[in-house]
Amino acid sequence: MTLTSMTGRVAVITGGGSGLGDALARLCAASGCNVVIADVDIDRGDRVAGSINAAGGGSALAVHTDVSNRDSVEELAKICHARFGVCDYLFNNAGLAIHKPLVDTTEEDWNSLISVNLLGVSHGIAAFAPTMIQAENGGHIVNIASMAGLVPLEGFGIYVATKFAVVGLSEVLAAELAPSGVSVTVACPGWVATSIQPTDPDVPQPSFPPEMSRVIAADEAARIIVDNMLAKRLHVPTHPEWGDAVAKRSKALLEAFSA
């Protein structure tokens, strides 16, 4: 399948008002999709939708949505179905990051990351998957995890916990939805130039070895994710050079079985 096969389809992007979600929304629209941009920051969502509509191609609608609230995501699905019809491509992308040693984290830190990064994904699946299955259009659910869902990054403990969970649930979802024809992709980007990176001057910036430090543009990450979604690949790492870190973890895990 190619990007042209997306013409006339419907894409929903949570967190579509900024960064990777913004890039995914623009790419889907440029490929001919009608796009729903769901963001808790409606000004950002409106800006992205406005510029897509001004550019022509597919049309875009911004919907105020809080992915941590199940009712809000159910309402998003109703609006999407009424305006454009069944969703073909659901991108569960909205996410937050906290850079803090685990011993310093608060209950509020845990609640906010779990409710957006993990429950936000489950709310998207609950609100959209039943209609996608029934429609028999062979839709796709794309969950945006992270390399932090494959490699335990020091200083990002809660983020790692939520992203490992998203990888695990996506693998289960892929198996469960396979008979229905709805495909599942779990994207694991390395660093992407967006506004998610921590900027707190009191917290030292994270530092990683060179092979885990490359930053790519959001447009490039979106292109890798959509190409691999269309190829129906389950796991989509955007930064191949992180493979060594994944192998190191897997090796240590396997060695534990024969210890």
Ligand X SMILES: NC(=O)c1ccc[n+]([C@@H]2O[C@H](COP(=O)([O-])OP(=O)(O)OC[C@H]3O[C@@H](n4cnc5c(N)ncnc54)[C@H](O)[C@@H]3O)[C@@H](O)[C@H]2O)c1
Q: What residues are labeled active site?
A: 159
| Closest CB to ligand X among residues 116, 141 | 116
Report in angstroms how near the CB of residue 211 gets to ligand X at its nearest.
Answer: 16
Q: State which of positions 192-231 bind ligand X (CB under 6 A).
A: 192, 194-196
Q: Are 139 and 184 in contact (CB under 8 A)?
A: no
Report in angstroms how near the CB of residue 195 gets to ligand X at its nearest.
Answer: 4
- For residue 13, give the 3-state DSSP assignment: strand
Going by C-alpha positions, the residue among 92, 93, 90 that lies closest to residue 11 is 90
- Check residue 41 for interaction with ligand X (CB under 6 A): yes
Q: Are 95 and 116 in contact (CB under 8 A)?
A: yes
With left for phi above 0 and alpha for psi between -120 and 50, is residue 202 left, alpha or beta? Answer: alpha
| Closest CB to ligand X among residues 8, 168 | 168
- Check residue 189 for interaction with ligand X (CB under 6 A): yes
> Within 10 A of 239 (CB to CB), how many other CB atoms are there?
20
Q: State which of positions 45-104 bind ligand X (CB under 6 A).
A: 65-68, 93-97
Report in angstroms how near the CB of residue 258 gets to ligand X at its nearest.
Answer: 33
> Within 10 A of 207 (CB to CB), how many other CB atoms are there?
8
Among 26, 44, 140, 239, binds ligand X (CB under 6 A): 44
| Closest CB to ligand X among residues 75, 137 | 75
E strands, 111-234, where? 140-144, 183-188, 191-193, 215-217
Report in angstroms how near the CB of residue 255 gets to ligand X at its nearest.
Answer: 28
Q: Are 41 and 22 in contact (CB under 8 A)?
A: no
| Closest CB to ligand X among residues 93, 170 | 93
Report in angstroms how near the CB of residue 63 gets to ligand X at its nearest.
Answer: 10
Q: Which CB contacts under 8 angstroms, 24+ apart, belong to 1-4? A: 1/230, 1/231, 2/230, 3/27, 3/30, 3/31, 3/226, 3/227, 3/230, 4/31, 4/32
What amino acid is encoded at 256 in this protein? A
Region binding ligand X by CB under 6 A among candidate stretches 12-20, 170-178, 204-212, 246-254: 12-20
What amino acid is encoded at 148 in this protein? A
Report in angstroms how near the CB of residue 16 gets to ligand X at its nearest.
Answer: 7
Region binding ligand X by CB under 6 A among candidate stretches 13-21, 78-86, 134-142, 244-252: 13-21
Among 12, 14, 28, 177, binds ligand X (CB under 6 A): 14
Q: How many residues bind ligand X (CB under 6 A)?
A: 29
Residues 6+ away with beta carbon under 8 Å from 132: 86, 87, 88, 90, 139, 141, 180, 182
Region binding ligand X by CB under 6 A among candidate stretches 37-45, 78-86, 131-139, 206-214: 37-45
For binding to ligand X (CB under 6 A), which residues are involved? 14-15, 17-21, 39-41, 44, 65-68, 93-97, 116, 144, 146, 189, 191-192, 194-196
